[in-house]
Amino acid sequence: MQTRVEIADFENWRRAAKEAAKELDAGGIVAVPTETVYGLAADAFNAEAVAKVFEAKERPTFDPLIVHLSRFGELDRVAEVPEEIAEVVREIATKFWPGPLTMVLPKTAAVPDIVTSGLSTVAVRISKHEVIRTIAKELGRPLAAPSANRFGRVSPTSASAVLSELEGRIPLIIDGGACSAGLESTIITIEQGEKRPLIRILRPGPVTKEELREFGRVVKAKRDRSQPEAPGTLDSHYAPSIPLLLFEKPEDFVPEEGKKYALLSYRGATRDGYVDRHEWAKIEILSPGNGKLAEAAVRFFYALRAVDIEEIDAIVAEPVSDVGIGTAIMDRLRRASAVRS
């Protein structure tokens, strides 16, 4: 299969969106930009098309997908929102949609079981990226779209990264430029609480627990490693091809003789104790200088790909502050390091 790349720039992004919708309407799959990472989209109501997504990604079918809407008015096509949480769902959607937040809600019968991996719930969001919203609007149906990479590989934040992952496996990539958020969406569930709604964070992301506290009591959900409750909650979603080692303190790192190490540094500062700890084969810095978590988040997957190279035996990662969006970065680092621990 030949993979074609369509540029969705200022002049022709609407034409590119129409091309994508045409491919999707015919039962095909298309890599599309979002503000978080690039997604591999299929018509969410077409089970055979969704199966192609799993095949192209080599993704296990027990790992559910996120469904993308073009607008809030489409929510009832894919989700049956319980009356007791309907008000808070509307409030959260008003605040964070379009944006990098996914809500897990009871699904409608219209959503094929392959999308939700047999679960009775569906993960739903509305992206801030106008291209994917326009594609869904042109198609007239929601899109099922996990990240556009092979399963267990680093998520792509550019069309070139998608091409390196899926060239020859998919017919079309819509190049909408680099992703602005750089980390996958926050995923939550909402339940009726005794006094306030209970919001469980299944996956940390750009929308932080501090921001969600306005709408209810926020807790971090316990994970069942045998059966994902939501998309993107397996450790292997964030693992590079070589081992990643996460140390809370620089002195915990003891290099093995003869091995080459790369450093994934937060700000590249000698005062943090990592940069001068070893003669690194490669150093990639998330946010040079004083260190800004938002910039680190945007650069995270790009930097992880840059050190995930053959001549390196392992990647050593510096921790970042575990607050705000730093919680999402640390979540990805801990999961990546857990894969081979």
**Domains, the chain, ordered by start:** 4-235 (3.90.870.10), 239-338 (3.40.50.11030)
Mean pLDDT of 57-74: 94
Query: E strands within 158-303?
Result: 172-175, 186-191, 198-203, 217-220, 244-246, 261-265, 282-285
Give the pLDDT confidence score for residue 236 in this predicted structure.
64
12-16, 239-243, 268-272: range with lowest mean pLDDT: 239-243
pLDDT at site 60: 87
Residue 174 contacts residue 20 (beta carbons within 8 Å): yes
What mean pLDDT do residues 81-108 have? 98
pTM of the complete model: 0.90
pLDDT reported for residue 330: 94
pLDDT at residue 116, as a whole number: 94
Maximum CA pair distance of the chain? Answer: 62
Q: Tens digit of pLDDT for each residue in 193-213?
A: 888 999 999 999 999 999 999
Asked if 171 and 5 touch (Cβ cutoff 8 Å), the reply is no
**Peptide bond connecting 98 to the previous residue in cis, omega within 30 degrees of 0:** yes
Per-residue pLDDT band at 318 (split at 50, 70, 90)? very high
Q: Where in the chain does DSSP place strands (E)?
A: 4-7, 30-32, 39-43, 66-68, 101-106, 121-125, 143-144, 172-175, 186-191, 198-203, 217-220, 244-246, 261-265, 282-285, 314-317
pLDDT digit string, tens, across residues 119-169: 999 999 999 999 999 999 999 999 999 999 998 889 999 999 999 999 999
